[in-house]
Amino acid sequence: MTVEVTELECLQVQSDPADRLLADARLIEADDQISRLQATLDHLLEGVVVCDEEGRTIYRNEAANEFVGSRFGGAVAASAIEGCLSTARRGRRDEKLLELFSPSRRMLSIRAFPLRAEREVEIGAVAIVEDVSDRQRVDAMRRDFVANVSHELKTPVGALSLLAETLDGEDDLEVVSRLSSRLSTEADRLARIIDDLLDLSRIEANEAPTLEVVGASVILGQAVEGLRPMAEAGRIELVVDEGGVGLDLCCDQWEVVSAVANLVDNAIKYSEPGGRVTISVRPSSDPVDGIDMVEITVADRGIGIPKGDLERIFERFYRVDRARSRTTGGTGLGLSIVRHVVANHHGTVRVESSEGAGSRFTLVLPRVVGCADPAEGARTEPVGQPEAPGA
């Protein structure tokens, strides 16, 4: 940006030293204001491009520089920006949503506005370029989530309605008893879906959980205790490895108990009668960014997970075996809850599984040493063909 001084002003300044000093001060002040304005615009995440009334670019901030002299998607964006500025120079606002596929898929929002001086004289135009890729992705995820929730709730609600209609006026006590049992089962399934949705919503919202020192044995005890009746009913042996006695975790107790309980619940559901589920805890041999970690492992000898499904098991409502999930009452939200708990604690979840040999899920979470400043980043690492899980 430049500041123009007329010839007459120059002559006046030369004739009067006091005026010259005043003009110099004003020029310095104007330069400072321009520098501050440029520095401010350069810190914006949005690209800003300004052109004069002839279409010549007189300013672009750092974010907009990526569209200068670039190829592929950048060249397409530069052309779109120029088109929007051309429309704005003619006095009309313009807006365009541009999808780019190279070098990576991006969605850009381009908005251009005319610039007017006093008396509505057109002096150019400004274009603002915003990367809305994340916003579009979140909106798509939200739409998918609402659609999935509606679908998942529709099944038990429809079953409840049908069973209630069938029960109405039924006199056969045996039929009434059978339908009442089915009614209770569907009501329990609906309640589990709602409870899991509430838990998931609470965990997702709690991106900065309140960390406290909790004994690992306490976590395992609370997670397993409520599932023992279910394991006994399915003739599944629950084994808690006491090797981690004395280990303390740095965590939100409710969240981690919920994550471990969901893993144990899945292990029981996908194990055959007579099977065994082992829950263990031990110190990790690999610190993360200098922070000591703890590994909580839930291993079973059940049906396992096909290799092609490993990448998707943490998605909401994704089920490897839908028929079995319907039988066992699974909601498809358990592993999604686990993933978000791990993300909130800046940890890792590892998956080792193969069909017919069972599965092993390992949560890696910070020990007390990292309680004040847990390491950044959360990862999920699927691994195929493990050793036979379980002890």
pLDDT in tens, the chain (391 residues): 444 555 555 555 455 677 777 777 788 777 778 778 877 888 888 899 999 988 899 888 888 888 876 666 778 888 899 999 999 998 899 999 988 887 678 899 999 999 987 767 778 999 999 999 888 887 777 777 777 677 777 777 888 888 888 888 778 888 888 888 888 878 887 887 788 778 777 777 766 677 888 888 889 989 998 888 889 988 999 988 866 667 888 888 888 999 999 999 989 988 888 889 999 998 887 777 777 888 999 999 888 888 877 778 887 777 666 555 555 556 678 888 888 888 888 888 998 888 888 899 999 988 875 454 444 444 444 444 444 333 3
CB 164 within 8 A of CB 183: yes
Transcribe 195-255 into DSSP letters.
Answer: HHHHHHHHHHH-SS---EEEEHHHHHHHHHHTTHHHHHHTT-EEEE-GGGTT-EEEE-HHH
Alpha helices, H only, the chain: 7-15, 17-42, 73-89, 133-167, 173-205, 216-225, 228-233, 253-269, 322-328, 334-344
C-alpha to C-alpha distance for 306 and 382, rounded to whole angstroms: 11
Q: Where are the domains of the chain?
A: 7-135, 137-205, 209-391
C-alpha to C-alpha distance for 120 and 204, rounded to whole angstroms: 50
Name the CATH code of domain 137-205 (choices 3.40.50.300, 1.10.287.130, 1.10.3720.10, 1.20.1050.10).
1.10.287.130
**Given phi > 0 = left and psi -120 to 50 = alpha, else beta, which region is 124?**
left
Residue 95, pLDDT score: 92
Residue 94, pLDDT score: 92
Look up tokens 């520095």; give the residue. 39
**Given phi > 0 = left and psi -120 to 50 = alpha, else beta, which region is 359?**
beta
- Tokens found for residue 137: 């992705």
**Topology alike, domains 7-135 and 137-205:** no
Residue 326, pLDDT score: 53
Q: Which amino acid is at 181?
A: S
Domain 209-391 sits in CATH at: 3.30.565.10
Residue 126, pLDDT score: 93
Vertex 148 angle, CA 142 and 152, to 5°: 145
Length of the chain: 391
Give domain 7-135's CATH superfamily: PAS domain (3.30.450.20)
